[in-house]
Amino acid sequence: MAQDVLCEVSNCVYYKKGNKCGASEIYVVSHKGDEAHNSKETDCKTFEPSDF
């Protein structure tokens, strides 16, 4: 299991210094059902916009 999850979306409430994700869980979904063939076919459902 990954020890560090990296994220460049600075307007997410889970974004931490150094492009780290501070969420306790990450939920990624595919646009193509149960399988994805590349990263463009996925989305991070954990994202929540921050109020900054």
The residue-averaged pLDDT of 13-39 equals: 95
Three-state secondary-structure class, residue 41: helix
pLDDT tops 80 at residue 43: yes
Beta bridge partners of 12: 49
Dump the DSSP string for 4-30: --B---TTBTTEETTTEE--SS--EEE
The residue-averaged pLDDT of 27-46 equals: 95
Residue ranges per domain, the chain? 1-52
Structure tokens at 16: 């931490």
The 10 Å Cβ neighbour count of residue 15 is 19
The verdict on pTM exceeding 0.75 is yes
